[in-house]
Structure 1
Amino acid sequence: MKSVRTSKPGTVEVVELDRPEPGPQDVLLRIRACGICGTDTAMVVQGGAPFTPGELTTVHLGHEPAGEIVAVGAEVTGLSVGDRVVVNPMDGPSGLMGCGGPQGAMSEYVLIEKAELGKSLLIIPNDVPFAVAALNEPMAVAKHAVNRSDAEPSDKVVVFGAGPIGLGAAIWLKLRGVEHVVVVDILPERLDKALVIGADAVINSAQEDVAARLTELHGASANALGQPRPGTDIYIDAAGAGAVLETVQASAKWGAELVIVAVHKEPVDISGILRSELTIIASMGYPTEIFEVTPDLAAHWQRFATLISHQVPFTDVHKAYELATTPGAADKVVVTFE
């Protein structure tokens, strides 16, 4: 079978590997679609995963798969050949799929060890396209950020970053019943997409004063010193830019909340949190959400499909990674397998 890995900065290679043979507790999955995320592109740019300082390790890429079961071990229950499934890439006994473990999902086949329905795999309805089902993992990341926010319907929320995680968070907020959700970005086409998926308003931070616009949308409030601030209750950072934290600290009212789901590569000054008693909440991965999201993803798959900007066949997988690693070239790339 063919599989994709990276081991040198800026390169991906397609290699031939033996197709895995399932044991009695395993399932063999034929991959039908696999997304490319920011973690993948970071590993491609650096040429592997730096597990120890100064050392790069070959990584078998891909951790956003959807596929079809082609073989089932004799001891596996609840799963059958032909089932269409999504995967928990963090559940593999041998290591994280596509993030340092021995397998990556950007492969024609993947072995699901000690397969367990509802823990390592979940069946998806036949009418959900595999490319959309491959969004299950990143949408679990977005759902965890929203869960961490504890957003109530009456809360006024702003999401920074209209990439897949930010737009996914906006969808989950609306499905949660939050009445007013604003999305902030600097790219007009991304902001247009935010309105399509259900955001109530958008702000182009390259052209507009974010605090002033939020005050128009969410009303006026104040920080702990009585200085005027927008009435926004919850800020979600899905952008990972220092300017976002600067904007939040300058805008947050007394008792506001900031959920950070993005990875920040540069140090930031957080001294402004004192003036608003800003609560900062970190959001990492999906402790419980990996299959919590699946029924809603299936029920609203047309809405989530909007997040995919490019579907690229596996035969052009190098093009897929080129798109994903080129700033501004693509929002969400999903590789499909015939």
Structure 2
Amino acid sequence: MKSTIVTGPGSTEVIDITRPQCGPDDVLVRMRACGICGSDAFYITIGGIPPRQGHTPLGHEPAGEVVEVGAAVTGVDVGDHVVINPMAAPSGIIGNGGATGALADYLLIENAQRGKSLEVIPKHIPWEVAALNEPMAVARHGVNRCRPRPEHQVVVFGAGPIGLGATLAFKALGVRHVVVVDIVASRLAKALQIGADAVIDSSEEDVVARLIELHGEGEAMWPGKAGTDIYLDAAGAGAVVTTALAAAKAGAILGVVGVHKEPVPVDFAGIMSNEITIVGSMGYPEEIFQVTEDLVENWEKYALIVSHTIPFDKVHDALELADTPGGAGKVVVTFD
């Protein structure tokens, strides 16, 4: 079988490896789709991550078809379509420094347990949509960290895959009004398609003024604050933090799920006087299969997040496209 690995700084190869043997507690999955994450480009740039520096198997957004089931495994059958929890692998996180990666023909799920390491999904769900399960869990955890309530008014900064996933998560949780902010018109159009109540083009509009129009004026130490309850940064840009804190009313929440590559100065006087809560978000401690039900129920909306599907024999093109700023939304590698 073939597997995609990082062989050194800036270098990847598709190599031949031995197809794994399925033990009594394991499940062998034939890969059918795997999303490309921004972290994949980071791993390639630095030449891999520990514990396998320079030899990191890639791919941690998998969906596939079960081809072998160990004798001790229950609730899973050959032919089942499954989504996978890369963080549950005993040999290390799949595609994140562990022994295996999902940008490969097959993936062995060791100590397989339904609801912990994998979950069965209906067969009508397109593979490229199923592969969104992992990044949508990241988005759902970011939303959960903000503790949204139905009466809340929310703004999501960034209409990339995580921002769109967060928008769907807020709507699934019954939040009354969700605004999405971005600078790319096509992304904003997609946000409206999946259910955002309004969008703001921050390259052309005053975000704070527009939020006040949409959400009313909020109570605060100083006037000119928006009535928005939750600000979610899914963009990882310093300007987002500055804008959110400039708009935030007393008691507002700023959630950060976007990756910031540079330090961001903040107005602590405003944070203190308005008692603003800032929460970070990383991974998905409990959300990996919580999100699956909504993904299945609303798969047509989630399908809009996928911008490109590229066959595995062109995996290098997929990795390059995903790492091109503004080049794509969500790139998913598919397998015949």
Using structure 1 for the length normalisation, give the TM-score. Answer: 0.96
SS at match of 1:190: helix
Matched position secondary structure for 2:264: coil
Structure 2 equivalent of residue 288 of structure 1 = 286
**CA distance in 2 between partners of 1:85 and 1:132 (Å):** 12
- The answer on whether the counterparts of 1:84 and 1:124 sit within 8 Å (CA) in structure 2 is yes
Structure 2 gaps of 5+ residues are none
Residue 139 (structure 1) aligns with: 136
Q: By how many angstroms is 1:195 displaced?
A: 0.6
Corresponding position of 1:330: 328
* 276, 279, 294: which one aligns with 1:278: 276
1:207 CA displacement? 1.3
Q: Is the 8 A contact 2:9 2:54 kept in 1?
A: no
Q: 2:68 aligns with which of 65, 71, 75?
A: 71
CA distance in 1, matches of 2:240, 2:287: 26
Displacement, 1:133? Answer: 0.4
- 1:5·1:12 contact (CA, 8 Å) conserved in 2? yes
2:30 is the counterpart of 1:30: yes
Q: CA RMSD in A?
A: 1.3
Which residue matches 1:206? Answer: 203
Match of residue 257 from structure 1: 253
Could you tell me which of 297, 303, 306 is aligned with 1:305? 303
Matched, 1:228 2:263: no
Contact 1:45 1:325 in 2 (8 A): no
Q: Matched residues in 1 for 2:69 and 2:38: separation?
A: 32
8 A Cα contact 2:219 2:225, kept in partner: yes
TM-score by length of 2: 0.97
The answer on whether the counterparts of 2:8 and 2:54 sit within 8 Å (CA) in structure 1 is no
2: distance between equivalents of 1:326 and 1:244? 21
Tell me the distance in 2 between the aligned counterparts of 1:310 and 1:11. Answer: 22
* Corresponding residue number in structure 2 for 1:195: 192
SS in 2 for 1:288: coil
Deviations 1:177-221 (CA, angstroms, capped at 9, x unpaired): 111100011111111111111101111111111100000000012
Alpha-carbon offset, residue 284 of structure 1: 1.2
Aligned to 2:17: 17
Match of 2:2 in 1: 2
> Secondary structure in 2 aligned to 1:22?
coil
Is 2:150 aligned against 1:153?
Answer: yes
Q: C-alpha displacement at 1:247, in angstroms?
A: 0.7
- Give 1:295 deviation, angstroms: 1.4
Question: Structure 1 residue 266 and structure 2 residue 266: aligned?
Answer: no
Instruction: Give the C-alpha shift of residue 10 in structure 1.
Output: 2.5
Quote the residue 2:239 is aligned against: 243
Alpha-carbon distance in structure 2 between the residues aligned to 1:64 and 1:158:
26
Q: Which moved more, 1:25-34 or 1:39-48?
A: 39-48
Amino acid at match of 2:127: F
The structural deviation recorded for 1:62 is 0.3
CA-to-partner distance for each residue in 1:106-129, whole Å, 9 max, x for gaps? Answer: 000011001111111100001101
Q: How far apart are the structure 1 equivalents of 2:328 and 2:41? A: 12
Instruction: Identify the range of structure 1 (185-194 vs 264-273) with the bigger mean alpha-carbon deviation.
Output: 264-273
1:235-267 superposed Cα distances (whole Å, 9 cap, x missing partner) = 001010111111111111111001111111100
String of CA shifts for 1:279-314, please: whole Å, max 9, x gaps. 011111111111111111111101000000000011
- Residues in 1 aligned to 2:133 and 2:126: alpha-carbon distance in whole angstroms: 12
Task: Tell me the secondary structure at the aligned position of residue 181 of structure 1.
Answer: strand
Query: After the TM superposition, which residues 161-200 of structure 1 pair with which residues of structure 2 at under 5 Å, given as runs?
Result: 161-200=158-197
Q: Take 2:275 and 2:54, find their aligned partners in 1: how far apart are those partners?
A: 42
Contact 1:311 1:334 in 2 (8 A): yes
Could you tell me which residue of structure 1 aligns to residue 103 of structure 2?
106
Q: Once the two structures are superposed, what CA deviation does each residue of 1:77-113 show, in whole Å capped at 9, x if it has no partner?
A: 1111111100000001111000000000000001100
Q: Structure 1: where are the runs of 5+ without partners?
A: none
Deviation at 1:227, TM superposition (A): 2.6
Write the letter of the residue equivalent to 1:155.
Answer: H
Task: Indicate whether 1:93 and 2:90 are aligned.
Answer: yes
**Alignment-derived partner of residue 215 in structure 2:** 218
Deviation at 1:315, TM superposition (A): 1.1
**Whole-angstrom CA distance in 1 between matches of 2:10 and 2:247:** 39
